[in-house]
Amino acid sequence: MKKIDFKSLVVKETDDYLIVNKPPYFSTLEDRHEAQNMLALAKQEFSDIQVCHRLDKETSGCLVFAKNPEAYRNIAMQFEDRKVEKVYHAVAEGIHDFNGLMVDRNLTASNNGIARIVVNGKSAQTIFKTVRTYFSHTLIACKPITGRLHQIRIHLAYLGAPICGDELYGGKPLFLSSLKRKFNLKKDTEERPIMQRVALHAYAISFTDLSGEKISAEAPYPKDFAVMVKQLEKTSK
């Protein structure tokens, strides 16, 4: 795996907090199958640093670290009280006009890491707003109120808007051949999806620091997500 320059990932830094743009395919915490993880990279720069939440391995975007125990307790209380505001961007299949639509459907997680909507599950709410529509896809801003396993993914699938590449919850990979009419694939070549993961990015986060001042950050799209959005824009004109 390519070695990552941790400092190049930083999008916001204060005396107490560090917010980085996590690349896709990197685990937040130690993973016995991976040589690198985000917490280990952070500890090479700050020995006492703690990661404040988790992102799925495939998910890119805003990840917050606390530089000291007091800062960690401060944001942990905000997560518990649901005062941390997070916005994800997702590319979903189909045309959808969501204007602050809230999905309130309880979830449960099985032992094999798959979430399901069940009446007696844990409370889960997500607010969805359309950012832009394309020819047959939609870029959606997703604001989770709670933080359940695969919450955004399964709530979008519930709405009939599965995320591109999310085959676990009904989404399909997006191929360039499905967007371009005159697409020619070289002979004896297998076409690959435009993006080889779930099209989900942790775009923005905001919370308050120890003095009560608001801290906000946005994470630019990584290359694969940016390429997908660009292709959708080009083929929708």
Q: Is residue 1 part of a domain?
A: no
Would you place residue 187 in the very low, low, confident or very high pLDDT band (cuts 50, 70, 90)?
A: confident
Q: What is the pLDDT of residues 188-212, one digit of tens each?
A: 788 899 999 999 999 999 999 999 9
Q: How far, in Å, CA of 208 to CA of 30, rounded? A: 28
The confidence score (pLDDT) of residue 33 equals 67
Q: Is residue 126 part of a domain?
A: yes
**DSSP secondary structure string for all residues of 86-151:** EEEEEEEES----EEEEEE--EEE-TTS-EEE-TTSB--EEEEEEEEE-SSEEEEEEEESS--TTH
Would you place residue 2 in the very low, low, confident or very high pLDDT band (cuts 50, 70, 90)?
A: low
Q: From 86, 210, 188, 199, select the one nearest 153 (Cα to Cα).
A: 199
Is 5 known to be catalytic?
Answer: no
User: Could you say which of 16, 56, 166, 224 is catalytic?
Assistant: 56
Q: How far, in Å, CA of 74 to CA of 71, rounded? A: 5
Q: Is residue 93 part of a domain?
A: yes
Q: Is residue 25 part of a domain?
A: yes
How many domains is the chain partitioned into structurally?
A: 1
The confidence score (pLDDT) of residue 4 equals 82
Domain that holds residue 72: 6-234
Let me know: does 129 contact 100? Beta carbons within 8 Å. yes
The confidence score (pLDDT) of residue 52 equals 97
- CATH code assigned at 153: 3.30.2350.10
Q: How far, in Å, CA of 92 to CA of 156, rounded? A: 8
- Per-residue pLDDT at 59 exceeds 70: yes
Higher pLDDT, 124 or 237: 124
